[in-house]
């Protein structure tokens, strides 16, 4: 199956720090990338959808100035959590897909973010 690499897998940092998470599709061109957040024992929550070369579409309640998404190429999307605070601590997962395709989204391994 398709491979999606997400980095870093674990981040611990101080409150106020900005954290960048990278998501790469290694063996296919991902026209669309999705960013999810998941709190312990809760369901996946879609944060935003990004299409290569255009601005991301954010779900209701997700602050676009807080969670900056860049999808500059067909193989790379980044999520930057700006000025992170303890309430931003969560499991962030990206997935990659192809618009117009009936193929499934493929998930990265996720990034566990802990803000002290």
Using CB under 8 A, list all residues that contact another protein: 1, 6, 31-32, 34, 43-44, 46, 49, 91, 93, 97-110, 112
CB of 76: closest distance to another protein in angstroms?
Answer: 18
CB of 21: closest distance to another protein in angstroms?
Answer: 13
φ/ψ bin of 83: left (φ > 0), alpha (ψ from -120 to 50), beta (otherwise): left
In the complex with another protein, the residue whose CB is nearer, 15 or 55, is 55
- Backbone dihedral angles phi then psi of residue 86, each to the nearest 5 degrees: -50, -35
- Residue 55, Cα to own-chain centre: how many angstroms? 14
CA distance 35 to 50: 8
In the complex with another protein, the residue whose CB is nearer, 66 or 98, is 98
In the complex with another protein, the residue whose CB is nearer, 82 or 98, is 98
CB of 64: closest distance to another protein in angstroms?
Answer: 18
- Backbone dihedral angles phi then psi of residue 54, each to the nearest 5 degrees: -130, 170
In the complex with another protein, the residue whose CB is nearer, 16 or 104, is 104
CB of 52: closest distance to another protein in angstroms?
Answer: 12
Please confirm whether the linkage preceding 8 is cis (ω < 30° from 0): yes
């Amino acid at each position: 199956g398709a491979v999606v690499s997400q980095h870093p897998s674990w981040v611990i940092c101080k409150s106020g720090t900005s954290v960048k998470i990278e998501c790469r599709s290694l063996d296919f061109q991902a026209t669309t990338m999705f960013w999810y957040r998941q709190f312990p024992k809760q369901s996946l929550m879609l944060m935003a959808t990004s299409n290569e070369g255009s601005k991301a579409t954010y779900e209701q309640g997700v602050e676009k100035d807080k969670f900056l998404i860049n999808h500059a190429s067909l193989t790379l999307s980044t999520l930057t959590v700006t000025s992170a605070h303890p309430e931003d601590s969560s499991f962030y997962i990206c997935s990659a897909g192809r618009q117009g395709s009936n193929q499934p989204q493929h998930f990265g391994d996720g990034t566990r973010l802990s803000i002290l």
